[in-house]
Structure 1
Amino acid sequence: MSSNFGWETESIYSTAVLQPEEQENSTTRLQEALLNFVQNFRLDNSYVYRDQLRNNLMREQPYLQVDVGHLISYDARLGQMLNRTPADVLYLFENAVKEAAKRILFANPHEDVKVPDCQVMLKSDANVTPIRSLIPAMHMGQLVRVPGIVIGAATLTCRATYVHVRCRYCGNTEDVPVSGGFSGISVPRVCNGQQPTDLETQMPKCPLDPFVIVHEKSKFVDQQVLKLQEAPDMVPTGELPRHMVLNADRWLCNKVVPGTRVEVMGIYSIFQNKQGSSIATGAVATKTPYIRVVGITTDIGGGPGTGAKTIFTDEEEEEFIQMSRQPNVYEQFAASIAPSIFGNEDIKKAIACLLFGGSRKILPDGMKLRGDINVLLLGDPGTAKSQLLKFVQKVAPIAVYTSGKGSSAAGLTASVIRDNNTGEFYLEGGAMVLADGGVVCIDEFDKMRNDDRVAIHEAMEQQTISIAKAGITTILNSRTSVLAAANPVFGRYDDLKSAGENIDFQTTILSRFDMIFIVKDEHNEQLDMRIARHVLNVHMDSATTDNADNDIDLKKMRDYVSYCKAKCAPKLSAEAADKLSSHFVSIRKDVKTMESTRTARSSIPITIRQLEAIVRISESLAKMTLSPVANEKQVDEAIRLFKFSTMDAVNAGSVEGMTRSEVMEEVQNIEKQILRRLAVGSTVPVRVLKEEMEREGFSETATFRAMDLLCRRETLQLRQSGKVIYRRML
């Protein structure tokens, strides 16, 4: 039996007691049963696969996508055989589909009629098997369904389905079938053609290995090698993610790009690795597992490792619609973000906006405007920035967490890898590619090298990653939100220094963040008492918040975010747009006036990007309530969040209405007054000194700043026990 596509023709077995005629009859009956399934299976009074095959043939796409569940419902024996021996059944299945195509295309088909070879793709709703759960001894040769992220895609190559060989001595020709996947070819060593023999020796005249391959008459199909990695949420803590090599051919090639979350149906197989063929190492029998792909599903969701949920039941949709109609859904959702962390209400509201995101737009000229929101948390240590990032990693449908110190430009964007077997280059996606459609959380953002930080400029605004290395020129999608956490330059935020001195970032990277929060560890006795009580309650497993019963659980939050992002894409109303435009003009005017009173411009620019940021925040607030239009109320809240975050960071260089230069001049005057009042070795209570400075008209902030500077110079020493200050003996 000839091979059309390279499925193992010689590996179709039956019981040993059957005669060859009975084996052939058994194979013929199986193929006829599969043909009857393609032609006769009906669903809702329509012939599903007959119509699908006809439509695909009219479009010159000869393939058929079959649901394994339909095959089992039609004939349980066929489904069982497909799961047990998929390679054998798929070969017969494709022959049956080819016969069905012949009957569709021609009214009176005969054997000489040529029809295109058809490919059978499979899909199933069976339980998925994680990569680390695949056991070669148990799953070898069986049909498996594996979830993961495609991190590498090689260029297309050709694989022979059968090879045409010709004897160089007698001209005899043969067609040698080639098994699918990474299987090699075995060319006959002896020519069996009809040829004269030497009567004296009775030996054929053709010597051993007489065949040469005729490539022009051989048949090839497209083949692509993919690399599948476990999703981050499926990797146990402390372990490296595992990979699996995939082999896709024909119409399954070029279906996915790095960063795509997929579920792969395939045959678990093995091949001989070239690197493991050394006899000295005892690795002759070492085989490398791989999956021969028979179906790829990209529109997935719901389970671990599969990304955002896209299929919802009627009960879930009804629940989410009722939830969106609640008047306080915005406050309730924000309060449910990291409830164990005290305070930071506006930061939690900004994170809620980041999870939902705005509406991605494609303009008539082809330009794309991002809808994802980027947020930067900059502040003192111990303000729960990393905990917020960890919580977002759990609640976001698709999320990748990384640390800036251990991340490189290639690790964040994409890298070019050389295949050890073929020597070809292929791409492997980094964190921002793997988080496509979700959130990437970058902790210790200030510890990154400047060169690595510059590499994500394009990914944050254009949401693409352009690669031009090793002869590979391509563009990868990185449609992701960025949530970054960083510390100031001096470890703690210094109020008397400008924002540019505290934030060691370039203006180019700061302008790409929609909201920049400066998180300060302020000293307030009442606030400290409340925080201490909250932390102790958490450690004692008590109620972490006053409204803990009203918090939304983690799974419902994740599903609600997925539902809103899938079902709603709001736009600004005309009234909201007018209000926003006038407000943006006033913001620009205020910033210009502020910069005119300072010695240098602010390191945080207010540009058109910030106007688009307010638009995205307004759209995310509308999306949170499943509203198709963002109204004026939501624009007001977006403006308030923007003022609380980015505008406060812009104004961080001033204290109590004074510029930084004025404050520093006041600090110098206070230093002179303190040194004039204190004799060498004298002791003065801090409270008395503070009251004297206030009577002189100096501010409290400048007074503490002056004493801090004198203590650093070792001119003053502060005794915590007696709360007194004295001048050191010189």
Structure 2
Amino acid sequence: MSYDRVDNYSAPAIAPSDGGDDSHNEILKSFKSFILEFRLNNQFIYRDQLRENLLIKNYFLKVNNEHLIGFNEELNKKLHDDPTEMIPIFENAITEIGKRIAYLSTDENEVPSNFPQCQLILYSIANKTSIRDLDSENISKIVRVSGIIISSSVLSSRATKVQIICRNCKHTMKMSVSPGFGNLQLPKKCQGSHNFDDNSTQQKCPNEPYTIVHDKSTFIDQQILKLQETPDMVPVGEMPRTILLQSDRYLTNQVVPGTRVTIIGIYSIFENTGKKVRNGNVNTVALRNPYLKILGIQTDIESNNSNLIFTEEEEEEFIKLSRLPNLYEVFSSSIAPSIYGNNDIKKAITCLLMGGSKKILPDNMRLRGDINVLLLGDPGTAKSQLLKFVEKVSPISVYTSGKGSSAAGLTASVQRDSVTRDFYLEGGAMVLADGGVVCIDEFDKMRDEDRVAIHEAMEQQTISIAKAGITTVLNSRTSVLAAANPIFGRYDDLKSPGENIDFQSTILSRFDMIFIVKDDHNENRDISIAQHVMNVHTGNSSANTNHNEEGEIPIETMRRYIQYCKNKCAPRLTPEAAERLSSHFVSIRKKLQLNEADMNERSSIPITVRQLEAIIRITESLAKLVLSPIATEDHVEEAIRLFTASTMNAVDQGINNGMVTNSELNKEIEKVEQELRRRLPIGWSTAYRTLRRELVESGKASANALDKALLIMERHEIIRFRHQRQNILRVGV
């Protein structure tokens, strides 16, 4: 790619800016020359772009800053050093060329007077400046910052030229309004000639006589946005910084809350006259507030952001990585390698990071491709550590704790502007993580009304708002990785999952995989965990060779590979894989129906069509991991195995605890129940260890039969456990 000027053309030298007409005209000529004569690959790209835009009534021109540097570096320097003065000249140049193109004439009399002013939209790949690094040296300079749009106002009108009229003598005049947030200052005295003529017999006008004639004034569209730092840019312990943005004309209504953007604009200040600061006995006007006047908006999809540009070397590396025969094992073991075991959970997180394929049906209904995972288990099983690692490795992620999150903080809130008193939306965690992962720790500590608020966001992937006259829908295309503790703090094997899980089935059905993580007491496993933890803490690499082998893929490579897979691959099921999936779903529904009939109660973890879609998404994510355009039966088998090891394992635990047992054990349970009824009159209590000593240790019954008999009696409200199973009280017949 090369930047060429037309033959025999040299960029005109620009005279030093002294505010004179000659300097102004030279700069105007230079901008016109750039628009008309800049060539890229033998094409006059800006001349052609302006012609195409005018044909569809779009009066703007998108200019790449790097092209201006290649054409005339001195002109670019003046633009960046004094954008407030240069941009109107640039826009005048675009407008004059637009008139010539539209009307094929250079005569001003043949061009309609209402031809609109064309807008300059600037793009660049210059270095970014952090919001917290903007200081007084950047004022009135062009800067490039990135972040997340957290709120956007409704469209309003801003005057560029106003016609004012004196209420007394009807003297009229036109005033130009400076851009920005500043207030319009009307003349305090009438400018009519009789006010300055001492011989005039007409009465002089009073002070502040002017009023605005709105019908004769010129307005443009304006929108106020608020930009916040991305979570990965905020230092630990700091509050994220925000800055106001002002967009106008064709830059309005371009983004919604939750969009990650890179903004090119002029760093400016305005005086908020509504605030006063008392300094001693003197009222002083508050310091000027900073804001950014937008010159160009680049979203992550369309920007020249290096995070989404893959070099040839990277693509070769990723394709080579995708062809590894054991990539699935290597990638999953690279997730939180400092955590021992939990292989199936790490594989599920791999699927969550990749995600399935989004689908838009012919009736415009959308099917989500993001995978939701719930980790439910005992304390100390590294659930929070896994969530923290996912926040680190996911390209877009937000970490939050359930106890400190409200419904508005997770979805969206309606705020009121302190100056204009208008309502506007501020996106919450699930809006800000659009296209990524939301990690919610302490999911069980959330209030029920807050948890219900994310039902729509988890399945339909939208957030509907109807508050304060604002009715809208925000996108929340995000995966949810949640961690929770059982209702008793630790998982009780003698209780069903429904009694251990304090969640409604409406929220459980929205999770594609539910893992029950238990802290089992196993001597060999405990020895392995102890050795692993000691090696991690002591940094004993020689003894910890397995750890080095597990973490084969660095975090940055994993993050880039996840982005590459999501951008380049959207697998579909083969007919054979689809047939295998449908037959498996029918079989597990039939098995669940039979088991529920034997138990005389429904499972607390539902198996519905959502779970069939969950297995489809897991299958597609496994195919996406290896950049396969189709999902085969092998991917289906692994997806079924993962689903069985997670959600179906949780369901089966309830079935086993529901006493679907052999006939011999049923008979033994009945005998134990009769013995308990005989030994324990209504209103009496006894100790669990006493029953265990008299029945189990004497050989009259097995420990399993005693525990299951007690569980049955508790379900039928015959007995009640007190003091966490230490005492057993009989309360019914």
Q: Contact conserved, 1:301 with 1:310, CA < 8 A, in 2? A: no
Supply the distance in 2 between the matched residues of 1:235 and 1:663 (Cα, whole angstroms): 60
- Deviation, structure 1 residue 433: 0.3
- Runs of 4+ in structure 1 off by over 6 angstroms are 201-204, 660-665, 670-673, 686-691, 703-707
Q: Contact conserved, 1:170 with 1:195, CA < 8 A, in 2? A: no
Write the deviation string for residues 538-587 of structure 1: whole angstroms up to 9, x where unpaired.
10013456052462000000000000000111111100001111110000
Question: Which secondary structure state, in structure 2, belongs to the residue aligned with residue 437 of structure 1?
Answer: coil
| Matching of residue 239 in structure 1 with residue 243 in structure 2 | no
Q: How does 1:223-262 map to 2 (within 5 A)?
A: 223-262=222-261
- Deviation, structure 1 residue 671: 12
Q: CA 1:15–1:412 in 2, change beyond 3 Å: closer, same or farther?
A: same
| Aligned counterpart in structure 2 of residue 110 of structure 1, from 102, 107, 110 | 107
Question: Which secondary structure state, in structure 1, belongs to the residue aligned with residue 386 of structure 2?
Answer: helix
| Aligned counterpart in structure 2 of residue 321 of structure 1, from 291, 296, 319 | 319
Q: Contact conserved, 1:309 with 1:397, CA < 8 A, in 2? A: no
Supply the distance in 2 between the matched residues of 1:326 and 1:110 (Cα, whole angstroms): 68
Question: Which secondary structure state, in structure 2, belongs to the residue aligned with residue 240 of structure 1?
Answer: coil
Q: Contact conserved, 1:150 with 1:257, CA < 8 A, in 2? A: yes
Question: Which secondary structure state, in structure 1, belongs to the residue aligned with residue 435 of structure 2?
Answer: coil
- Deviation, structure 1 residue 121: 0.9
| Matching of residue 642 in structure 1 with residue 643 in structure 2 | yes
- Deviation, structure 1 residue 77: 0.8
- Deviation, structure 1 residue 82: 1.3
Amino acid aligned to 2:591: D
Supply the distance in 1 between the matched residues of 2:723 and 2:236 (Cα, whole angstroms): 45
Write the deviation string for residues 227-285 of structure 1: whole angstroms up to 9, x where unpaired.
11111111111111111111111111100000000011111111112442355674414
Q: Contact conserved, 1:38 with 1:49, CA < 8 A, in 2? A: yes
Report the equivalent of 1:568: 569
| Aligned counterpart in structure 2 of residue 520 of structure 1, from 510, 518, 521 | 518
Report the equivalent of 2:682: none
Supply the distance in 2 between the matched residues of 1:711 and 1:219 (Cα, whole angstroms): 77
Q: How does 1:388-537 map to 2 (within 5 A)?
A: 388-537=386-535
Report the equivalent of 1:3: none
Report the equivalent of 1:698: 702
| Matching of residue 37 in structure 1 with residue 27 in structure 2 | no
Q: CA 1:130–1:380 in 2, change beyond 3 Å: closer, same or farther?
A: same
- Deviation, structure 1 residue 192: 3.8
Report the equivalent of 1:61: 58
Q: CA 1:634–1:79 in 2, change beyond 3 Å: closer, same or farther?
A: same
Report the equivalent of 1:7: none
Supply the distance in 2 between the matched residues of 1:640 and 1:412 (Cα, whole angstroms): 32
| Matching of residue 552 in structure 1 with residue 542 in structure 2 | no
Q: Contact conserved, 1:653 with 1:659, CA < 8 A, in 2? A: no
- Deviation, structure 1 residue 46: 0.7
Q: CA 1:714–1:67 in 2, change beyond 3 Å: closer, same or farther?
A: closer
Amino acid aligned to 1:263: T
Supply the distance in 1 between the matched residues of 2:469 and 2:722 (Cα, whole angstroms): 60
Supply the distance in 1 between the matched residues of 2:358 and 2:290 (Cα, whole angstroms): 41
Q: Contact conserved, 1:496 with 1:654, CA < 8 A, in 2? A: no
- Deviation, structure 1 residue 301: 9.5
Question: Which secondary structure state, in structure 1, belongs to the residue aligned with residue 40 of structure 2?
Answer: coil
Write the deviation string for residues 419-445 of structure 1: whole angstroms up to 9, x where unpaired.
000000000000000000000000000
Q: CA 1:507–1:663 in 2, change beyond 3 Å: closer, same or farther?
A: farther
Q: CA 1:604–1:203 in 2, change beyond 3 Å: closer, same or farther?
A: same
Amino acid aligned to 1:101: G
Amino acid aligned to 2:322: S
Report sequence identity in percent.
56
Q: Contact conserved, 1:670 with 1:706, CA < 8 A, in 2? A: yes
Question: Which secondary structure state, in structure 2, belongs to the residue aligned with residue 150 of structure 1?
Answer: strand
Q: CA 1:386–1:295 in 2, change beyond 3 Å: closer, same or farther?
A: same
- Deviation, structure 1 residue 638: 0.4
Q: Contact conserved, 2:571 with 2:631, CA < 8 A, in 1? A: yes
Report the equivalent of 2:180: 181
Q: Contact conserved, 1:300 with 1:309, CA < 8 A, in 2? A: no
Supply the distance in 2 between the matched residues of 1:175 and 1:299 (Cα, whole angstroms): 42
Q: Contact conserved, 2:122 with 2:295, CA < 8 A, in 1? A: yes
Write the deviation string for residues 587-639 of structure 1: whole angstroms up to 9, x where unpaired.
00000011111132101110000000000000000111111110000000000
Report the equivalent of 1:132: 132
| Matching of residue 379 in structure 1 with residue 377 in structure 2 | yes
TM-score in terms of structure 1 length? 0.88
| Matching of residue 669 in structure 1 with residue 666 in structure 2 | no
Report the equivalent of 1:95: 92
Q: CA 1:714–1:588 in 2, change beyond 3 Å: closer, same or farther?
A: closer
Report the equivalent of 1:295: 296
Q: Contact conserved, 2:130 with 2:145, CA < 8 A, in 1? A: yes
Q: Contact conserved, 1:247 with 1:292, CA < 8 A, in 2? A: yes
Amino acid aligned to 2:539: D
| Matching of residue 52 in structure 1 with residue 49 in structure 2 | yes
Q: CA 1:220–1:653 in 2, change beyond 3 Å: closer, same or farther?
A: same
Q: CA 1:400–1:197 in 2, change beyond 3 Å: closer, same or farther?
A: closer
Supply the distance in 2 between the matched residues of 1:339 and 1:354 (Cα, whole angstroms): 17
Report the equivalent of 1:85: 82
Question: Which secondary structure state, in structure 2, belongs to the residue aligned with residue 42 of structure 1?
Answer: strand
Write the deviation string for residues 507-566 of structure 1: whole angstroms up to 9, x where unpaired.
100000000000000010000000010011110013456052462000000000000000
Supply the distance in 2 between the matched residues of 1:275 and 1:196 (Cα, whole angstroms): 33
Q: CA 1:427–1:287 in 2, change beyond 3 Å: closer, same or farther?
A: same
- Deviation, structure 1 residue 347: 0.4
Q: CA 1:283–1:652 in 2, change beyond 3 Å: closer, same or farther?
A: farther
- Deviation, structure 1 residue 181: 1.4
Q: CA 1:715–1:361 in 2, change beyond 3 Å: closer, same or farther?
A: closer
Amino acid aligned to 1:162: K
Q: Which piece of structure 1 moves more, 162-171 or 53-62? A: 162-171
Question: Which secondary structure state, in structure 1, belongs to the residue aligned with residue 159 of structure 2?
Answer: strand
Supply the distance in 2 between the matched residues of 1:173 and 1:601 (Cα, whole angstroms): 80
Supply the distance in 1 between the matched residues of 2:120 and 2:53 (Cα, whole angstroms): 12
Q: Contact conserved, 1:274 with 1:421, CA < 8 A, in 2? A: no
Question: Which secondary structure state, in structure 2, belongs to the residue aligned with residue 215 of structure 1?
Answer: strand
- Deviation, structure 1 residue 212: 2.2
Report the equivalent of 2:10: none
Unpaired runs of at least 5, structure 1: 1-13, 677-683, 717-730
Amino acid aligned to 2:548: A
Write the deviation string for residues 298-357 of structure 1: whole angstroms up to 9, x where unpaired.
035999xx8x93211111111111111111111111010000000000000000000000
**CA RMSD after TM alignment:** 3.1
Amino acid aligned to 1:540: T
Unpaired runs of at least 5, structure 2: 1-14, 680-688, 712-720, 729-733
Question: Which secondary structure state, in structure 2, belongs to the residue aligned with residue 65 of structure 1?
Answer: strand
| Matching of residue 540 in structure 1 with residue 543 in structure 2 | no
Q: CA 1:100–1:660 in 2, change beyond 3 Å: closer, same or farther?
A: farther
Report the equivalent of 1:722: none
Supply the distance in 2 between the matched residues of 1:579 and 1:207 (Cα, whole angstroms): 88
Q: Which piece of structure 1 moves more, 439-448 or 161-170? A: 161-170
Q: How does 1:5-44 map to 2 (within 5 A)?
A: 23-44=20-41
Write the deviation string for residues 110-155 of structure 1: whole angstroms up to 9, x where unpaired.
11313331110111111111111111x2111111111110000010
Amino acid aligned to 1:669: V
- Deviation, structure 1 residue 654: 4.2
Q: Contact conserved, 1:131 with 1:230, CA < 8 A, in 2? A: yes
Amino acid aligned to 1:150: I
Q: Contact conserved, 1:301 with 1:311, CA < 8 A, in 2? A: no
Supply the distance in 1 between the matched residues of 2:148 and 2:674 (Cα, whole angstroms): 61
Q: How many residues end up aligned between the 2 structures?
A: 686
Q: Contact conserved, 2:673 with 2:709, CA < 8 A, in 1? A: no
| Aligned counterpart in structure 1 of residue 333 of structure 2, from 335, 350, 357 | 335
Amino acid aligned to 1:639: I
Question: Which secondary structure state, in structure 1, belongs to the residue aligned with residue 43 of structure 2?
Answer: coil
Write the deviation string for residues 146-188 of structure 1: whole angstroms up to 9, x where unpaired.
1110000010111000111123344432211111110221222
Report the equivalent of 1:585: 586
Amino acid aligned to 1:210: P
Amino acid aligned to 1:35: K
Report the equivalent of 1:161: 160
| Matching of residue 145 in structure 1 with residue 144 in structure 2 | yes
Supply the distance in 1 between the matched residues of 2:448 and 2:692 (Cα, whole angstroms): 45
